[in-house]
Structure 1
Amino acid sequence: MTCVPRLRRLQGGRTRICLLSATPCSILASSHPMTDGSLVPVRLLVFRVGTLACAAEVDQVREILPRLPTTRIPGAPPVVAGLVNVRGTLVTVVEGWRALGLPPPPSPPTSALEGTLGSTLILELGAPGGGGRGGEAENGSHKLIGFTVDEVLDMLAAGDHTLEGRQGLPGVDPTLVRAVGRRNGELFIVLDLAALLGPVLTS
């Protein structure tokens, strides 16, 4: 029986991820093992940045927020959109398309009711090299960082049937790719978030 993915909407537009079910998917190629050898598959959150379908491990996604206005950080690199206040905690937000080296999007679509469309993923990453710049929320040895996406698509379960070696996609830096999978006939990349966002955390 195929399980149905669930993204539970909470008060204030926040979304909490339900980990109890996920759509099965296949990983075509992987540069790292996608499971720890147990029978529990890795759960992936699939989202779209521009025309690129991407995924991140659900364990690294703290929550999903609607696209929020940011406060610019003086002297920050262009990839940093700014800061958002998440219930009293300042979180640095990275522009997804800039981080992935994609072409700039057209003017962001807006809704009269909701403002700018899209989502901000609040990701929890290991903190390489210790301390960081002001504005980055810390949680023990981990840090929170925001990552803007155009659309959250699905939650998938990746089994242990992986292939060694990294399979590149046109226009995507292969060093940012952990694996390549397929969902409904469409290829998606599993991002190496440490490689993608580590330079921002340590800058």
Structure 2
Amino acid sequence: MAQICLLSLTPCSILASSHPMTEGSLVSARLLVFRVGTLACAADVDQVREILPRLPTTRIPGAPPVVAGLVNVRGTLVTVVEGWRALGLPPLSPTPSPDAGVIGSTIILELGKGEEPGNGGGGGGGGGGEAGKLIGFTVDEVVDMLASGETTLEDRKGLPGVDPTLVRAVGRRNGELFIVLDVAALLGPILPS
């Protein structure tokens, strides 16, 4: 539990050094595991800028329902996406009470730092020190950070109810399955060019 508190307060880049992907690898050496509803998911730590307590957002008129709104992160406006809507899941608690407060976390992800959508081309050349676009992704719980060797990754075939184009791999840890999200494929289409 102390690790979750530390993750909520500290940028992920301080917690773990960046590990470059090797040719032929599906994911980086470290994964951040989190829950969206009842679905266990993971993202490459290389794409995680930081983890914040869930912040109230400012709604954007005309934005699609998947967009929760904007938050100000140290002077930078960041679009925040509802994780459950982006993944096509039902909300964890459909009718939150007004005095219940906001639960969960917002993971600030940097698109363009990892792979392009669909593991392929696009004009983004990898590297060069250029910062990617920031987007927030709401989750219900940050679970763990895994290093390679702590989990077994498998092919993404045969996942009922999850669009396979959004999944890079399936992991198993302590008998529980989780999906490694293709963050660029999931969130890239939401961001304006």
Q: What residue in structure 2 maps to residue 48 of structure 1?
A: 35
Q: Name the SS for the 1:116 alignment partner.
A: coil
Q: What residue in structure 1 maps to residue 160 of structure 2?
A: 170
Q: What residue in structure 2 maps to residue 121 of structure 1?
A: 107
Contact 1:8–1:16 (CA<8 Å) still a contact in 2? no
Distance 1:85 1:43, change over 3 A: same
Kindly tell me the number of residue pairs found equivalent between the two proteins. Answer: 170
Q: Name the SS for the 2:191 alignment partner.
A: helix
Contact 2:33–2:40 (CA<8 Å) still a contact in 1? yes
Distance 1:141 1:91, change over 3 A: same
Contact 2:53–2:105 (CA<8 Å) still a contact in 1? yes
CA distance in 2, matches of 1:125, 1:49: 19
Q: Counterparts in 2 of 1:177-196, with a 5 A limit?
A: 177-196=167-186
CA distance in 2, matches of 1:191, 1:85: 25
Identical-pair percentage: 74
Offset of residue 6 of structure 1: 4.6
Q: Counterparts in 2 of 1:104-119, with a 5 A limit?
A: 104-106=91-93, 107-108=95-96, 115-119=101-105
Q: Counterparts in 2 of 1:138-153, with a 5 A limit?
A: 140-153=130-143
Distance 1:110 1:193, change over 3 A: farther
Distance 1:109 1:121, change over 3 A: farther
Q: What residue in structure 1 maps to residue 25 of structure 2?
A: 33
Higher helix share: 2
Counterpart of 2:58 in structure 1: which amino acid? T
- Runs (4+) of structure 1 exceeding 6 A deviation are 109-112, 127-130
Q: What residue in structure 2 maps to residue 100 of structure 1?
A: 87
Q: TM-score, normalised by structure 2?
A: 0.76
CA distance in 1, matches of 2:68, 2:111: 18
CA distance in 1, matches of 2:75, 2:135: 14
Q: CA RMSD in A?
A: 2.9
Q: What residue in structure 2 maps to residue 199 of structure 1?
A: 189
The structure with higher relative contact order (CA 8 Å, sep 6+) is 1
Contact 1:67–1:117 (CA<8 Å) still a contact in 2? yes
2:53 matched to 1:66? yes
Q: 2:146 aligns with which of 156, 162, 169?
A: 156
Which runs of no fewer than 5 residues in structure 1 stay unpaired? 21-31, 36-40, 131-138
Contact 2:152–2:171 (CA<8 Å) still a contact in 1? no
Q: What residue in structure 1 maps to residue 6 of structure 2?
A: 9
CA distance in 2, matches of 1:83, 1:51: 25
Which runs of no fewer than 5 residues in structure 2 stay unpaired? 18-23, 117-121, 124-128
CA distance in 1, matches of 2:179, 2:152: 16
Deviations, residues 64-92 of structure 1 (Å, cap 9, x unaligned) = 00011000111111100000011111100
Q: TM-score, normalised by structure 1?
A: 0.73
